A and B are shown apart, each in its own frame.
Chain A
Amino acid sequence: DQQVKQNSPSLSVQEGRISILNCDYTNSMFDYFLWYKKYPAEGPTFLISISSIKDKNEDGRFTVFLNKSAKHLSLHIVPSQPGDSAVYFCAARGRGGSQGNLIFGKGTKLSVKP
């Protein structure tokens, strides 16, 4: 059973608009959430993270929102750029879990059209 779910396999957005990628999780013991960006044939690149004690973290064009009661987090990219086109993975770490031992969603492929 998947503990981290990304229910949208793909998302298409126009350049300059907002991209919203969603992620749901089932385990309330997760204490840290991360978003990774992955280009084809490359390893994932860390993008942004959020601790379970926060509900928002912002870094430039990227903002992650966490709704613990709904066990839901989202990544907002604004404005979206063609270079943002990639697969985005949501990942979670269990409380007290081994460093870097992350549980990943299946990913959402974002396409930003010029």
Chain B
Amino acid sequence: GAVVSQHPSRVICKSGTSVKIECRSLDFQATTMFWYRQFPKQSLMLMATSNEGSKATYEQGVEKDKFLINHASLTLSTLTVTSAHPEDSSFYICSVPEGGTEAFFGQGTRLTVV
């Protein structure tokens, strides 16, 4: 399956600052990538669909101006959490769909906003 690399694995930032998370598909050209968020003891919730060369599609309730997604190439999608607040602290994970059914996930990023 696709090898997906996500960076950084862990980040601590001050409230009000912005954080960029990268998701790279190392061996597969991905026109679509997905961004999920997982709060403690909760399921992974889809935030947005990242589309190469076009605007991302956001799920209901996800602020597009707060969670900026850029998918500039077939191997890289970035999620920028702007003006981060403590309630944005969560585990963010990207995935790359392959083969029509499976999705392969990055290692995830633990964001802590202090």
Which positions in A face B, CB cutoff 8 Å?
2, 4, 9, 32, 34, 36, 41-46, 49, 89, 93, 98-107
Q: Report how many A-B pairs have Cβ atoms within 8 Å.
A: 70
30 A–B pairs (Cβ distance < 8 Å), ordered by A: A2-B43, A9-B41, A41-B107, A41-B108, A42-B108, A43-B4, A43-B93, A43-B105, A43-B107, A44-B44, A45-B105, A46-B103, A49-B101, A89-B44, A99-B32, A99-B97, A99-B98, A99-B100, A99-B101, A100-B32, A100-B34, A100-B95, A100-B97, A100-B98, A101-B49, A102-B44, A102-B46, A103-B46, A104-B44, A106-B43
A46 touches B104 (CB 8 A): yes
CA distance A89 to B108 in the complex (A): 15
Interface residues in chain B, defined as those with a beta carbon under 8 Å from any beta carbon in chain A: 1, 4, 6, 9-10, 32, 34, 41-46, 49, 93-98, 100-108, 110
Residue of B nearest to A42 (CB): B107
Instruction: Decide: A100 and B96 in contact? CB cutoff 8 A.
Output: yes
